[in-house]
């Protein structure tokens, strides 16, 4: 019984750390994309439309990957609560 509780606690801890790391990674990635796009628009203002549309597409893809990671962590945490009930 103690082994199940230790495993359950470790899984919850891992899920929480994983969700936090996913959020930090997505924030850093979108920040880097925004900075690069702003620098590119400052250097070539005539290409601002193409840079902005590309930036938005890549930012959306990063958000989808981050959402997938957070959902996976929540699934780990919720599956763990079923093990604790046993």
Q: CA 66, 71, 77: angle at the middle one, nearest 5?
A: 130
Q: What mean pLDDT value characterizes the chain? A: 85
Distance in angstroms (rounded) separating the CA atoms of residues 86 and 72: 22
What is the value of pTM for the model shown?
0.75
**The pair of three-digit structure tokens given for residue 37, joined into one six-digit string:** 């796009």
- Indicate whether 80 pLDDT > 80: no
Q: What is the pLDDT of residues 22-54, one digit of tens each?
A: 999 999 999 999 999 999 999 999 999 999 999
- Pairwise pLDDT comparison (30 vs 9), residue with the higher score: 30
Distance in angstroms (rounded) separating the CA atoms of residues 53 and 39: 15
| Domain boundaries defined on the chain | 2-85
Specify the 3-state DSSP secondary structure of 11: helix
Q: Are 67 and 23 in contact (CB under 8 A)?
A: no
Assign domain 2-85 one CATH number from 1.20.140.10, 1.20.1070.10, 1.20.20.10, 1.10.10.60: 1.20.20.10
User: In the prediction, which pLDDT does 1 show?
Assistant: 55
């Amino acid at each position: 019984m103690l082994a199940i509780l230790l495993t359950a606690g470790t899984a919850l801890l891992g899920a929480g750390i994983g969700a936090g790391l996913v959020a930090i990674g997505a924030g850093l990635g979108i920040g880097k994309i925004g900075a690069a796009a702003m620098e590119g628009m400052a250097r070539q203002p005539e290409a601002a439309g193409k840079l902005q549309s590309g930036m938005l597409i890549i930012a959306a893809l990063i958000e989808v990957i981050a959402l997938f990671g957070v959902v996976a962590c929540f699934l780990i945490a919720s599956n763990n609560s079923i093990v604790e009930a046993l």
